[in-house]
């Protein structure tokens, strides 16, 4: 089954404690992206990757890091989480072909930073 998986689904942590949210896709997609969803703000892009070792900032990259060492994986790293990073996070992937721009989303990771 084609899917994007994220782990963990729920995470409660404390300010300053480094954490990683994993994302993996099994569709051989070149493009992967991280979004955060906040009430009244919709989805905002954090980082994206056009392919292995190619990453770039989205609209709200501050406080986040990513890496793309393998095509299927795109982890999101919070080196020193703060309460304003409490949010619902989604990973997404897609091809980069001109006829296929719909993105496939993971189930989400609800992060609470206290």
Partner 1 sequence: AQSVAQPEDQVNVAEGNPLTVKCTYSVSGNPYLFWYVQYPNRGLQFLLKYITGDNLVKGSYGFEAEFNKSQTSFHLKKPSALVSDSALYFCAVRAYQAGTALIFGKGTTLSVSS
| Contacts with partner 1, residue ranges (CB under 8 A) | 4, 31, 33, 35, 40-45, 48, 50, 58, 90, 92, 94, 96, 99, 101-108
25 touches 72 (CB < 8 A): yes
The rounded distance, in Å, linking the Cα atoms of 38 and 85 is: 10
Contact 49, 23 (CB under 8 A): no
Closer to partner 1 by Cβ: residue 31 or 64: 31
Report in angstroms how near the CB of residue 15 gets to partner 1 at its nearest: 26
**In angstroms, what is the minimal distance from the CB of 18 to partner 1?**
25
Q: What residues contact 56, with CB distance under 8 A and at least 6 apart?
A: 47, 48, 49, 50
We find the least distance from the C-beta atom of residue 88 to partner 1, in angstroms, to be 10
Nearer to partner 1 (CB atom), residue 2 or residue 14: 2
In this structure, are strands 10-13 and 109-113 parallel, antiparallel, or unpaired? parallel
**45 vs 67 by CB, closer to partner 1:** 45
Give me the count of residues in the chain.
114
Residue 64 C-beta: closest distance to partner 1, Å: 16
C-beta of 14 vs 27, nearer to partner 1: 27
> Coil, helix or strand for 56?
strand
């Amino acid at each position: 089954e084609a899917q994007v998986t994220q782990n963990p689904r729920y995470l409660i942590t404390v300010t300053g404690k480094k954490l990683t949210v994993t994302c993996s896709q099994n569709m051989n997609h070149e493009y992967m992206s991280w979004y955060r969803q906040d009430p009244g703000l919709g989805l905002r892009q954090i980082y994206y990757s056009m392919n292995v070792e190619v990453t770039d900032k989205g609209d709200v990259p501050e406080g986040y890091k990513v890496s793309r060492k393998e095509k299927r994986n795109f982890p999101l790293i919070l080196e020193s989480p703060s309460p304003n990073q409490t949010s619902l996070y989604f990973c997404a992937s897609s091809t980069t072909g001109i006829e296929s721009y719909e993105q496939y989303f993971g189930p989400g990771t609800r992060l609470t930073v206290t």
